[in-house]
Structure 1
Amino acid sequence: MSSALVPFFATFALILAVELPDKTLVATLVLTTRYRARAVLAGVSAAFAVQTTIAVAFGSVLTLLPDRLVSVVVGLMFAAGAIMLLREGFTKGENDEHDAARSGAAPVPFRRAAMTSFAVLFAAEWGDASQLATAGLAARYSQPFAVGLGAFLGLVCVAALAVFLGRKIRGRLRPRLIQRVAGFVFAGFSLFAFATALLG
């Protein structure tokens, strides 16, 4: 059990740090201003479950490859994530979606709101830094369940913060700074993976 705790907490902490300043929080926040909170949380959680499963499955397939090749692929995935995070962290301006937070929640049926939330977050997370990280960590640790659970809970926690705290969360954090730090962490993981491939 203890061997699974390390990948679980490592994944949870990394996903939480990556997604707090990312579009996941913003998109969920905007959806919450338009639809009921429970419907939004249900929809985005379902999207996260599907995306995490896909990422873990991809990472698990990587474990069938030679160790050196796995390290190279993992390094490339983390490098791609670092580039995305740093580019957004240094060039990101004020998001127009924040203006949508001024509108009230619309009386939309639960199912429709949940399906809309699912579609928005499923599209937003496809190929995102968190999905790349989940696949990379699944390949690195060979603990697909622990990594998948950690990633899923990290994403749900970010969504819950956006749903239940609303715009207050944006005022207390410096999203771009967190995004930059996460980008450098990804770059560090990438260098470590490449070093493992060269020295291994």
Structure 2
Amino acid sequence: MVLSVIATAFILVLPVELPDKTLFASLVLATRFAPLPVFVGVGTAFGVQVAIAVTAGSLLSLLPEGLVSGVVAVLFLVGAVLLWRSATEGPEDAGEAADARERTSFLRAAAISFGVLFAAEWGDLSQLATAGLAARLQEPVSVFVGAWAALLVVSGLAVFLGKKLADRLPIALIRRVAAGLFLVFAVVAIVETVRTLA
């Protein structure tokens, strides 16, 4: 494992997920069930999603280098535009929170949490970023560890700190910082594409 790659994946994925539906879905699940099974279910769903994204990115890296860096640049540019455009919107709809936590078994609460987050993460910006990093950096295990750690931090904050966190997050600022990070990675990928094709 490469520590700098872990840090890069962590730093890129964390701000993307903070204002995301994932945070608010985890928050709602934690109002309905006990926090620990929600965290276990959500964390497992994230692990599977990150593994899928890293695998897709690793397969992408088998293509010619110029094509890979061009695709990665497009992924990051699209992510930057989407994040920048969403900066002025409010938090993504989390649905109605239950008034009281349901009395549900640990396994059932974890399974429901897994299902909700697994379905919600398809095509998410963090998944695109993870695939792009895996393709670009060719360190799949390090990208997996960094991205999954960032997702676990976000879900842990949502599940264990709850509503206090959601009310205090500067959503617009976080989305703009994330858009800036995506833009930097897009520029680096564009430079690599031009250098490869030249």
Classify the TM-score, shorter chain. Answer: over 0.9
Q: Deviations over 1:19-38 (max 9, x none)?
A: 11111111100100001111
For 1:185, the equivalent position in structure 2 comes to 181
Q: Deviations over 1:128-179 (max 9, x none)?
A: 1100111111111111000001111110111001111111112332022201
- Runs (4+) of structure 1 exceeding 4 A deviation are none
Counterpart contact for 1:22–1:179, Cα < 8 Å: no
Counterpart contact for 1:16–1:158, Cα < 8 Å: yes
Counterpart contact for 2:35–2:159, Cα < 8 Å: yes
Paired residue total: 196
Q: Does 1:198 align with 2:185?
A: no
Q: Deviations over 1:104-140 (max 9, x none)?
A: 2111222221111111111111111100111111111
Counterpart contact for 1:29–1:167, Cα < 8 Å: yes
Change in CA separation of 1:120 and 1:60 when aligned onto 2, cut-off 3 Å: same
Q: Does 1:126 align with 2:116?
A: no
Q: Which structure is higher in helix share?
A: 1
Change in CA separation of 1:36 and 1:182 when aligned onto 2, cut-off 3 Å: same
For 1:93, the equivalent position in structure 2 comes to 90
Superposed CA RMSD: 1.6
Unaligned runs of 5+ in 1: none
Change in CA separation of 1:96 and 1:76 when aligned onto 2, cut-off 3 Å: closer
Change in CA separation of 1:189 and 1:95 when aligned onto 2, cut-off 3 Å: closer
Counterpart contact for 1:22–1:175, Cα < 8 Å: no
Q: Does 1:75 align with 2:91?
A: no
User: Which deviates more, 21-30 or 75-84?
Assistant: 75-84
TM-score by length of 1: 0.91
The aligned amino acid for 1:69 is L
Return the alpha-carbon distance in structure 2 between the equivalents of residues 129 and 41 of structure 1.
21
Q: 2:7 aligns with which of 9, 18, 34?
A: 9
Return the alpha-carbon distance in structure 2 between the equivalents of residues 94 and 155 of structure 1.
18
Indicate the percent of aligned positions where both proteins have the same amino acid. Answer: 49
